[in-house]
A and B are shown apart, each in its own frame.
Chain A
């Protein structure tokens, strides 16, 4: 599954002009792939409480998939500080800009 995600990456990212909406949309796709649920519709306020498949283990799988997708690397403290999807998107955005 991760392989498919990384193939998809080539065409879809490495564009530093991405808006937050673009990032959200791509993150949404990663969630759908990793959690294997087509119905996931993320917004900035979404938390793990809202998505049944999103628990402590799949969280790590999501983080790894997002890092691969955007070709970025989070710090442990960053990963643990997110309160919702919006904060994660903010963090991704700063990483892409500085990349």
Chain B
């Protein structure tokens, strides 16, 4: 079920009223409604998907309790391994099995050996990468005594299947989210209106910005052999903004829906395109995933390699980003995309500027020259690397790069043809509006006019329901 669909609207209205009217005074019923609603939402396209979700929830629920209870460290360790096996094994099987088989066959085929192994036609549980990360970190945190095991199965099952975030995150950590499920939620008018505003803004980013930009990028990425260098570069840049509008729009809607139900869902984006280096970019992009990877992949690795100084950090960051890449999907393009991002950190690690947490400066409205240089450099690097993310194969991505870098300026105004100029204008307006939002606080009347304008545009574009890019991961 898509957030930007009519069926979701009906579904949510029913849940909302049951939740706040019928179950107003009962924590137990509030959670049961969320759980039941979550299963309806998740199983809507195919009810068979529910079986894996329920089995995975049950296994992790009991493992959590037994890991906490066990006084024998060896036994504890084995239970943890079992949990990791369930999580990583489930992911490997459903998401990567066919990829492994094909890569294995291709490798041996090059040496003239052919295996007759067929790939499986699997029904991949949607959102599996997202909810699996939730259960993995839950067990690791219990094992490290960072949190207590959840003893209430309704609470735990609801945590795993929380419908606003199950399909595409943000990845809420158990130690922040389970306590919210253990307390009865009270309806707060301000929180709810805040939630509606965020849903509205997310919907705008998705159906107005991302969907319009996609009409241009679909053209260019499909027929990339026919375009000149400028158009291909424009295609890469517009795709970067499209995926940001799409995914941060989705995240805003998830956070807003969470707020309407009385929850604080973890944030996912913080104006990533205004980052002035790659480390800063990753602190602002898909934050719930990167902070997860930092805690459970990068930190243990860098502790393990700590005697090797900068080299240890470099190895850790590269492994971290390769995992980040492959998390997105079973394709070598994602592996390479992750590897590139890992490599981009090397100059920062050597220069020692990697570990400077920075805040967006609110003072000057216009950026300084140095800021413009660093921000646009980072943005171009991210955009160009996203070509790998978008392409179907590595060779396709490199053909695209060749198209950009083997300069070809025939028909220089090509990137402004058809509706492309509108798409570029929308992209620029969207980025400028983000910049202004960081720098200025608007009076309510200006915001109201803006929301009305956005509303008209949403209504004008809502006819087509397109899926979210991140649903495939």
Contacts and interface: CB of A to CB of B under 8 A. Distances in A.
Contacts of B405: none
Contacts of A81: 144-145
Contacts of A63: 303, 306
Interface in A20-56: 52-53, 55-56
B355 A57 contact: yes
A98 interface: no
B77 to A, nearest CB: 11
Given A57-B313, A80-B144, A52 B303 contact: no
Nearest to A2: B309
B302 A76 contact: no
B354 A57 contact: yes
Contacts, number: 41
B266 to A, nearest CB: 15
Contact of B356 (A53, A76, A77): A53
Interface stretch (B25-33, B125-133, B292-300): B292-300
A64 interface: yes
Interface string B161-186: 00000000000000000000000000
B303 A56 contact: no
A76 B303 contact: yes
Interface residues of B, number: 19
Contact of A60 (B146, B303, B356): B303
Interface residues of A, number: 17
Nearest to B345: A57
What secondary structure prevails in chain B residues at the interface with A? helix
Given A80-B144, A81-B144, A81-B145, A58 B355 contact: yes
Nearest to B316: A60
Contacts of B306: 60, 63-64
A48 to B, nearest CB: 10
B75 interface: no
A67 B143 CA distance: 25
A60 B349 CA distance: 13
Interface string B124-163: 0000000000000000000011100000000000000000
Contact of B302 (A52, A53, A57, A77): A57
Given A53-B357, A55-B357, A81-B145, A60 B302 contact: yes
B109 to A, nearest CB: 41
Contacts of B357: 52-53, 55
B289 to A, nearest CB: 15
A76 B296 CA distance: 12
A95 interface: no
B303 A79 contact: yes
B307 to A, nearest CB: 8
A59 B299 contact: yes
Contact of A56 (B146, B298, B304): B298
A81 B295 CA distance: 12
A2 to B, nearest CB: 9
Nearest to B283: A55
Nearest to A79: B303
Given A53-B355, A81-B144, 7 more contacts: A55-B357, A56-B294, A56-B355, A60-B313, A63-B303, A63-B306, A80-B303
Interface of A: 52-53, 55-61, 63-64, 76-77, 79-81, 83
Closest 10 CB pairs of A and B: A57-B355, A58-B355, A60-B302, A76-B303, A56-B294, A55-B355, A64-B306, A79-B303, A60-B306, A52-B357
